Structure 1
């Protein structure tokens, strides 16, 4: 099974609430940037999303569907720093400004969870996160 399909299998094997969270991340980092694609900030978020997809497949090939996948979002740290500086130029009364701020909140929460997951992996929690088949 290719790493990408292994990643997808792992993602769709997760509890429904986690699948919903991943869907929110896709909406915020892929769908919304496509809607606002004329804005430079959207293009940056879109490119980082594509790079993250490649990183996730690479990490899955190397480590399996484990907590190490949290490393795949490391580019969000500089991206969010930059987006945070840019967001002040756009009103929250505009859909674009509202999306930028929502992106900061959602991706920051995800990064917090990612840091916890990677630390757990480093401390020895290296099991595959795919539940056994019934």
Structure 2
């Protein structure tokens, strides 16, 4: 099995959320020449692809997959939060960084809950 096939078996809300994050993180490419933050987003995104692939190959489609986001996106979100005063909402780059920051924050809430549940014995997807 592959991870995208497992995600395809999820409900439309989870599928939509995953695809939203894929599009949003990949969109960092549009801003890498103008925003240093976008370079860090892209670096975290690429690292996340490798780490999540490793976790999937090792543990399967379980709640521990959120560990990849926790390891990479928690420091990214702290970095973005500290840089938030430079996010000019009147520019595409600034709006992108605000939307991305909110998306990462919401994702991390689910990821931390999933990781706690995993270590408490709930190893389902």
Cα separation, 2, equivalents of 1:11 and 1:47? 23
What is the alpha-carbon root mean square deviation over aligned residues?
Answer: 1.2
> Is 2:39 the counterpart of 1:35?
no
TM-score scaled by length of structure 1: 0.86
Partner of 1:120: 117
Which whole-Å deviations, capped at 9, do the CAs of 1:70-100 have from their partners, x for residues lacking one? 1010211111111112221131111111111
Is the Cα contact below 8 Å between 2:87 and 2:98 reproduced in 1?
no
Q: Which runs of structure 1 show a deviation greater than 3 angstroms over 4 or more consecutive aligned residues?
A: none
Is the Cα contact below 8 Å between 1:7 and 1:56 reproduced in 2?
no
How many aligned positions are there? 123
By how many angstroms is 1:58 displaced? 0.6
Higher relative CO (CA 8 A, sep ≥ 6), structure 1 or 2?
1
TM-score scaled by length of structure 2: 0.92
Which structure's CA Rg is the greater one? 1
Structure 2 gap segments, 5+ residues each: none
Task: State the secondary structure of the residue aligned to 1:14.
Answer: coil
Cα separation, 2, equivalents of 1:11 and 1:42? 26
Partner of 1:19: 15
Partner of 1:132: none
Is the Cα contact below 8 Å between 1:71 and 1:114 reproduced in 2?
yes
Cα separation, 1, equivalents of 2:86 and 2:64? 35
Whose helix proportion is higher, 1 or 2? 2
Partner of 2:105: 108
